[in-house]
Amino acid sequence: MESASAFIDWKIKELGDWRGKTLAKVRDIIHQADPEIVEEWKWARATSPGTPVFSHGGIVCTGETYKNVVKMTFAKGAALKDPSGLFNSSLEGNVRRAIDIHEGERVDEAALKDLIRAAVALNLQGKNKVTHELKKNKATNSTKFTAKPKPKNK
């Protein structure tokens, strides 16, 4: 079974035009913003070969390619501040937001890196909380709280 990174390499090469170059550039920016990003390949089915997905503590964004646009969809984009106004698509949704990149358009790399880092921070925010378990002390029949770290998802 090939790795997700190999599928993304294949997709970039298969496109062979401005969309492939744009997807490669976006991929590079994502890894510069967060070297711990994990590449995944999801939602493959008979009618679609699948979609590049970039994750850290959950999905950060996808890298979809269409005839006239390369689309970066941020899974929790509606919860992110976007002071540079990068989001220009899926603005009506309650959860996701997207950036549509058309041929010849340049992306503000610094702003995109900030957005990616904010998305990762949002994903990790819920992962770093401690869970509490009630433990009964049999001798005193009292209850005390013990903090235990949440197990990491693999």
Please state the rounded mean pLDDT for residues 90-109: 94
For residue 47, what pLDDT is reported?
Answer: 85
* Helices vs. strands in the chain: H and E counts, helices first: 3, 7
Query: Own/partner pairs for 8-17, CB < 8 Å, 24+ apart?
Result: 8/39, 8/41, 8/52, 8/63, 11/49, 11/52, 11/65, 15/65
DSSP 3-state assignment of 136?
strand
1-5, 40-44, 114-118, 135-139, range with greatest mean pLDDT:
114-118
For residue 149, pLDDT over 70 is answered with: no
For residue 129, pLDDT over 70 is answered with: no
Is the model more confident about 130 or about 2? 2
pLDDT tier at 2 (50, 70, 90 boundaries)? Answer: confident
pLDDT tier at 132 (50, 70, 90 boundaries)? Answer: very low
- Of 19-28, 107-116, 124-133, the least confident: 124-133
What is the DSSP track for 20-42?
A: HHHHHHHHHHHHHH-TT-EEEEE
Query: 134: part of which helix (H) or strand (E)?
Result: strand 130-137
Q: How many residues make up the chain in this entry?
A: 154
Q: CB within 8 A of 47, min separation 6: which ones?
A: none
Contact 20, 14 (CB under 8 A): yes
For residue 152, pLDDT over 60 is answered with: no
For residue 1, what pLDDT is reported?
Answer: 54
For residue 48, what pLDDT is reported?
Answer: 80
> Which residue in the block uniquely carries the two structure tokens 């903090």?
147
Query: 62: part of which helix (H) or strand (E)?
Result: strand 59-65
